[in-house]
Amino acid sequence: MPKNFLTILDMPRDEARQVLLRAKEMKDGKVRTDLLAGKTLLLIFEKASTRTRVSFEVGVRQLGGDPVFITSRDSQLGRSEPLKDTARVLSRYADGLIVRTFGQEKLETLVKYGTIPVINALTDEYHPCQIMSDVLTMYERTPSLDEIKVAWIGDGNNMAHSFINAAATFGFALSLACPAGYLPDQGILDKARSLGADITLTDDPARAVAGAHYVNTDVWASMGQEEEQKKREAAFAGYAVDDVLMAKAAPGACFMHCLPAHRGEEVSEAVFEGPASIVWDQAENRLHMQKAIIEWIYSN
């Protein structure tokens, strides 16, 4: 059976810890440049991407493999060829699929009908590669992850869901502030809590950031929700991360954002460009962490 990475919970806790340590080693230059020799990984993207696409393409090359990028616009996926047929065809050509799409069930279909590993490069429900990279970014500053508090301010979206999973896997306390109607999925919360995660949910951003070492936010309208922008701007009024909110976090707290960011909406220009912001390290760590995830899948 191939290994897949559809959510952070696909990785047993001890293996996730190993992947974190390997990502740090890779960042320090210890990369197996022949890991993917002779292998082709297909990137199938049904939504826009800068970081995820480029960091995966570069990372696959650095591991000695060949990345091939396709979208639904220029493949038969956009003309309704069933995903289960696509999965079986692509499994005859390539050694893995790195997929950005809408519903998580599409990844599950690729797993069910294909015979090669599938990596989640963002769905409506989860963004596990991003949050694994964000865990690396926190770990570099505060190695005792079980002693930190992380705040999530804004939409209970794909990013929030993967943070919830990461809280269960890595043991940090997570406090989410989300307005009514934009809460994270209850089943995902229940599952993480059943695994021992320390998660609180409030509608008050000040409560969520109180004592937090890391303050995270994300766009208010994710890809596919563009027509809800105005409605969401109203719903998220008061959820912008600015200097006043950051002052309520722990001394020396860092600001995090997966990017792309909307300055003047979910984060102020001053916080985004200020000394607390670690967003460029987050972006860089995509490259290192994703290589470690690939190594987890392809090394025996």
Query: Using CB under 6 A, which of the segments 46-54, 111-119, 143-151, 199-207 binds ligand CP?
Result: 46-54
User: Nearest CA to 188 among 197, 180, 175, 177?
Assistant: 197
Q: For residue 271, state whether it binds ligand CP (rule: CB under 6 A).
A: no
Q: Which is closer to ligand NVA, CB of 120 or CB of 157?
A: 157
Q: Three-state DSSP class for 118?
A: strand
Question: Would residue 61 show up in a list of annotated catalytic residues for this protein?
Answer: no
Q: Which is closer to ligand CP, CB of 70 or CB of 259?
A: 259
List the one residue from 26, 258, 276, 293 that touches ligand CP (CB under 6 A). 258
Give the integer Cα–Cα distance in Å for 80 and 44: 15
Residue 97 and residue 119 in contact, taking contact as beta carbons nearer than 8 Å? yes
Give the integer Cα–Cα distance in Å for 289 and 264: 30
List the one residue from 68, 183, 250, 259 that touches ligand CP (CB under 6 A). 259
Q: For residue 123, state whether it binds ligand CP (rule: CB under 6 A).
A: no
Does 178 appear as a known binding residue?
Answer: no
Which one is catalytic: 257, 258, 282, 290? 258
List the one residue from 27, 51, 161, 232 that touches ligand CP (CB under 6 A). 51
Binding site for ligand NVA (CB under 6 A): 122, 127, 157-159, 218-219, 222-223, 258
Question: Would residue 95 show up in a list of annotated catalytic residues for this protein?
Answer: no
Residue 92 and residue 128 in contact, taking contact as beta carbons nearer than 8 Å? no
Which one is catalytic: 22, 53, 127, 257? 127
Question: Would residue 254 show up in a list of annotated catalytic residues for this protein?
Answer: no
Give the integer Cα–Cα distance in Å for 64 and 134: 25
Question: Would residue 127 show up in a list of annotated catalytic residues for this protein?
Answer: yes
Give the integer Cα–Cα distance in Å for 55 and 91: 23
Burial class (CB in 10 A: 0-12, 13-18, 19+), 164: buried
Residue 152 and residue 217 in contact, taking contact as beta carbons nearer than 8 Å? yes
Residues lying near ligand CP in the complex (CB under 6 A): 49-52, 122, 130, 258-259
Residue ranges for the known binding site are 49-52, 76, 100, 127-130, 158, 218, 222-223, 258-259, 286
Looking at the annotation, which residues are catalytic? Answer: 100, 127, 130, 218, 258, 286
